[in-house]
Chain A
């Protein structure tokens, strides 16, 4: 069999029903949006954009998003890989721990943290970033876990180490490139979370982007709806920029599906996971 350089698209066209599903989904998601946009009109956008504080709030949210993403991935990726490889019995425990932040209402978490945090940390915006990592954990873990189950983790790491790679090289040059989709999903979820999180930021009295947007609720109805839609579009643009940068990076450095993995692919048999 010819060596595969990319997973080929399934020959049989799931063609028609794929478009049917996407069409129905598209209608469900876009129609309410269009209705609200129709109500709000487009003139509100320029007034939102030029309101004082837009840049500062967006910048604060961007900083928090970057910091949260880096810290969350830096903690979750090695930990999840480690547990999958070395401590598989802890997997359930890890799942349980990472589901907790999502079940605890954010307001409860932030109140607890504010009670326990030292004053110097409380006056800094980074307390918020650290707490966002906790909020992001469930989503990051789930995406990374799904990605890890999809690759043949054991074989990859063994192959890498037998070729002489240290732990860090294995992670950086072998595993991460194969976790591309998982990392992308996780990043998108985390950035969108930070750009949309309101409760904790407002309780901590910091003016992040979503907190800043809420001020428009006080103005007329069209402005207030227009402002929330504006926030939605801004978030989407930022996420698109991230994905475009990510795929361009992958294409440029040649990191993608080409890796040790493909050498072993032709040796796997049906049903092995």
Chain B
């Protein structure tokens, strides 16, 4: 019996020693592990290195792309919840159409998680192929050289302000900041940010998290800024608005979600309109969504293909699918606002029922997107000032 213990110690020591040797070996080789494994997912015979193809045309046409993607047979996506902008149905439709299996890692993760996963899983077959991130992350990823430029077939239908000129990243869908409320508990319907200051809403209003960390919460502050005399370059009035809301006793600092709405903790929730619909309204028939009449903020997410994607052809086919009429209409059913909505409407290929289900946008509300420098300036102000909201 004593030998077991001695043996255990020896094994642990030996294992550690071996680990040290391998670590040293790994440290030198892991940095040089390129995406050579990218084309290695079974397709040795292709003369096209799909990892660097910048459009379907350049790769030999859509049929060549589809054939190659089917050969790869699988796609790694990340942080796509199934009830977020209808991603569940989008993934099902893609698999049904092309027979390519999709693995969705870390569905509740953040944009930073996606970037981290690309960096840490580089060279493995589990690394993400494509990402869906907030614009700041798409930009920072581009500066780190993480993306492979690619232009989908419907490239010209994407507005110029919503895509990177070199094709590194491109907006896919988005929404507006809206006010959702449970009409069975909230008797007087709120219509604007100003109306939320009414004392009858005491202890009822929440946002979906920490604006320094959660994109939707950050957007809520931005929207409040625009509604209160601020602008895309001035987010400070948004922070002071929430300070006011808290002093009135209406703001509940807890991270609000469908659960807190249903349990009655935060009957009023400021969130993306499509999430209010798909995550709260879907379970609570009394829940109503309204775009604030004094101003709101539009936020779009961005697609990008990883330069070191293990399944490059499948990744590109996925993008083609998302930006096809079918894909964009599936986003619309989210109910999110697909980036190519104007073109779909012009061409008459839009899903009219889904379009009608979108919350109405008040006429005086503009939805321009901020520039990168406006975004980072706003983020700095929020991270500095947000803790003062309750003090």
Contacts and interface: CB of A to CB of B under 8 A. Distances in A.
Interface of A: 39, 71, 74-75, 78, 111, 114-123, 166, 168-169, 171-173, 202-205, 211, 214-215, 217-218, 220-222, 224-225
| Max chain B C-beta neighbours (<10 A), residue from A114, A169, A218, A222 | A218
A225 B5 CA distance: 44
A217 B22 CA distance: 39
25 contacts: A74-B8, A74-B12, A75-B12, A117-B26, A118-B22, A122-B124, A123-B125, A123-B126, A168-B3, A168-B5, A171-B5, A172-B1, A172-B5, A202-B106, A202-B108, A203-B116, A204-B120, A205-B117, A205-B121, A211-B106, A220-B258, A221-B258, A221-B261, A221-B283, A224-B258
Given A39-B263, A205-B121, A168 B113 contact: no
B88 to A, nearest CB: 9
A122 B29 CA distance: 13
A39 B262 CA distance: 9
Given A171-B5, A203-B116, A221 B26 contact: no
B259 A225 contact: yes
Contacts of B83: 218
Nearest to B279: A218
A191 to B, nearest CB: 19
B2 A166 contact: yes
Contact of A111 (B1, B120, B262): B120
A117 B261 contact: no
Dominant SS among interface residues on chain B: helix
Contacts of A122: 120-121, 124
Given A119-B26, A168-B5, A225-B259, A203 B107 contact: no
Contacts of B116: 111, 114, 203
A118 B33 CA distance: 10
A118 B28 CA distance: 9
B9 A205 contact: no
Contacts of A118: 22-23, 25-27, 29-30
A123 B113 contact: no
Nearest to B29: A118
Interface string B48-87: 0000000000000000000000000000001001110000
Given A168-B5, A220-B283, A221-B262, A119 B107 contact: no
Contacts of B113: 202-203
A172 B107 contact: no
A115 B29 contact: no
A61 to B, nearest CB: 16
B123 interface: yes
B36 interface: no
A2 B207 CA distance: 68
B124 A218 contact: no
A168 B6 contact: yes
Contact of B12 (A71, A168, A224): A71
Given A118-B26, A121-B22, A205 B106 contact: yes
B389 interface: no
Contacts of B108: 202, 214-215, 217-218
Contact of A215 (B107, B119, B121): B107
Contacts of B283: 220-221
Contacts of A205: 78, 105-106, 117, 121, 126
Contacts of B6: 168
Nearest to B282: A220
By Cβ-Cβ distance, the 6 closest A-B pairs, closest first, are: A118-B26, A168-B2, A114-B120, A221-B259, A221-B262, A205-B105
Nearest to A70: B8
A116 B12 contact: no
A39 B261 CA distance: 12
Interface in B98-124: 105-109, 113, 116-117, 119-121, 123-124
Nearest to B6: A168
Contacts of A78: 9
Interface string B254-276: 00011111110000000000000
A71 B107 CA distance: 31
| Max chain A C-beta neighbours (<10 A), residue from B33, B261, B262 | B262
Given A74-B12, A111-B116, A119 B82 contact: no
A119 B126 contact: no
Nearest to A110: B120
Contacts of A204: 120
Contacts of A166: 2
B262 A222 contact: yes
